[in-house]
Amino acid sequence: MNKNLKVLLTVAVVIAIAGSYYFPQVQQTVNQVLGAVPTLDGVDHPYVTVNGHKEWRGRVPMAATSSVICNFPNPFNATSTWEGPTAKSTNVGIAQANNVFVATTSSVSRFATTSVTALSQGFAMGTGQWSFSFVGNVATSTSAAEELGAPVNVLEGANANQTSNYILGPTENLVFIIATSTPGTFVTYDQGFCSTVIREL
């Protein structure tokens, strides 16, 4: 065996040993990084975009001292739609019977509504803990809503041409608002949170 061939074999053996040492470490590092977030539970970001389809998913705490307990400004500043507003009180709350409504408003002040469009029949909150989930409908009139079993004073979900009434304008807010015949200062206030999904059209 000549001298050049010996040198070539020696270099090949050195490269093989070095490769077997470094490549497993690279693979191990990649596995550790990918394994750090096994589900989306660790992702704390309200915006989701899939193939150009934009959504905002959020949860906000209740504002205890306002009749507007939760407020969701349109996050896209563009015509959007929404679904599944929910609210949950985690304490005993106001010691007086009140109703809570889901509504839209164009009020500039986030927690002082001026022009409100009620989307739901008033939900009786009672004087203890409570939870509320808005369920949309596809009724095009109050009579159709009644046939579907929906209260006639809930906003119809669709127009005659099947376009949705659940639209949030670029400068509108989706709000949870308390209506009471006896407004005033209370010893305790409802605490909890509200959630919703807003989609850009």
**Residues 123-161 pLDDT 10s:** 888 788 999 988 887 777 766 555 656 555 567 788 888
Task: Give SS3 for 20.
Answer: helix
In angstroms, rounded to a whole number, what is the distance separating the alpha carbons of residues 87 and 104?
15
Token look-up 């015509």 returns: 79
In angstroms, rounded to a whole number, what is the distance separating the alpha carbons of residues 102 and 151?
14
How does the average pLDDT of the chain come out, rounded? 76
pLDDT of residue 124: 84
In angstroms, rounded to a whole number, what is the distance separating the alpha carbons of residues 113 and 95?
24
Q: Is the pLDDT of residue 6 over 80?
A: no
pTM of the predicted protein model: 0.70
**Dihedral sign computed on CA atoms, order 143, 145, 150, 156:** negative
pLDDT of residue 30: 47
Domain ranges of the chain: 1-39, 45-200
Least Cα distance to 115 among 164, 175, 163 occurs for 175
